[in-house]
Amino acid sequence: MNDRQCACCASTSMKSIAPYGAYDHVRCEECGYESFRSPAAAIAAHLYENDTDYCDDLTVASTHEDLILWHHRNAVEFLRSRYPSGNAAVLDVGCFNGFFVKKLLSLGFDAHGIDFNTRAVAYGQKALGLGPRVSSLSVDQCIARGKRFDVITLFEVLEHVPAVRPFLENVLKLLKDDGVIIISTPNNNMCWRPPLDYPPHHLSRFTIASLNACLSGLGMKSLYAAEQMSTYELVRHYLGTFFRAKDRSSLRGGEFKCERITTGLRRGMNRLRGTANLLLTPVDKGLHRLGIRYISQIIVAGR
């Protein structure tokens, strides 16, 4: 695939946008996929493990349920409809501490997770009681073991990957012939762009069209897709910018200032998420009808 060919739809309509620091920035005019390219694009695991802001996610949730987001709930709804008795083996690629693995286990699924962040994995193994169900195995190591899964989930993972299509092609080797893959990413059509949606944290931006095109090119067919509108998440992320130090080299656009205060605020906001989203449902539905989106999107595909 050449530099001007889209990684998702394979068109040659990639156009340059103004660079972002040391990153070349290109956009596909056909499917809306965007890529930030740099010789040093990939973020090493130890940078995530040692990033204070990122690792705070281990402590700002009172329970694993506090980490369950819109895309996880959509996935659960789909899985319970497709596998009502829970008889499915699920692999969560990029599982962080395994909070979604724990959620699926509570619903009767045979769930496992992998993540290159050994600190998060160790937390999940011990604090969440997941043991060997979560590990730091790579996709290649999983393939070598020969186990295949009914379902593979990739929540907020693809935007971190420098080479999207080869990565997905490899992941699909772990999927059974009649299996499904569930992918969520930030929506490139979101109404406001938070600092975390830039390099080095995020290297790609997707639309439903670009995700569908990429999966179609790999022999998959879309079964379900949805775009989120969450006023709660929009307000939370916007207010969060006032508590961050501006730093383009940071994984999320700047570390939080006054860590003791912000950690307490984040923990409280996590606890309020469910109630806030419920109360704001009429607002979210109205904005969604107007074509306003924030922040995530999800697609489910099978062979």
**Model pLDDT, residue 136:** 97
- On whether residue 172 sits in a domain, the answer given is yes
The CA-based dihedral angle spanning residues 19, 2, 159, 223, taken in that order and rounded to the nearest 10 degrees: 140
Q: Among 253, 246, 79, 218, which Cα is nearest to 149's?
A: 79
Q: Assign residue 76 the CATH number of its domain.
A: 3.40.50.150
Encode pLDDT of 5-18 as tens digits.
Answer: 999 999 998 999 99
**Model pLDDT, residue 38:** 81
The single-letter code of the amino acid at 71 is H
- On whether residue 3 sits in a domain, the answer given is no
Q: Is the pLDDT of residue 88 over 60?
A: yes
Q: Is the pLDDT of residue 207 over 70?
A: yes
Which of the four pLDDT bands, split at 50, 70 and 90, describes residue 268? confident
Encode pLDDT of 17-45 as tens digits.
Answer: 999 988 999 999 999 999 998 866 556 55
**Model pLDDT, residue 291:** 98
**Model pLDDT, residue 265:** 78
Which of the four pLDDT bands, split at 50, 70 and 90, describes residue 256? low
Name the residue range of residue 237's domain: 14-302
Beta strands (DSSP E) in the chain are 14-20, 23-28, 34-37, 89-93, 110-114, 134-135, 149-155, 175-186, 204-205, 221-227, 296-302
Percent of the chain past pLDDT 70, that is, above it, reads 86
**Model pLDDT, residue 62:** 61
Encode pLDDT of 226-253 as tens digits.
Answer: 999 999 999 999 988 887 766 666 566 5
- On whether residue 5 sits in a domain, the answer given is no
- Distance, in Å, from the CA atom of 73 to the CA atom of 47, rounded to the nearest integer, reads 29
- On whether residue 9 sits in a domain, the answer given is no
**Residue pair 159/98 in contact by the 8 Å Cβ criterion:** no
- On whether residue 4 sits in a domain, the answer given is no
Q: What is the value of pTM for the model shown?
A: 0.92
Q: Among 267, 249, 198, which Cα is nearest to 58's?
A: 267
Count of domains in the chain?
A: 1
- Distance, in Å, from the CA atom of 26 to the CA atom of 9, rounded to the nearest integer, reads 14
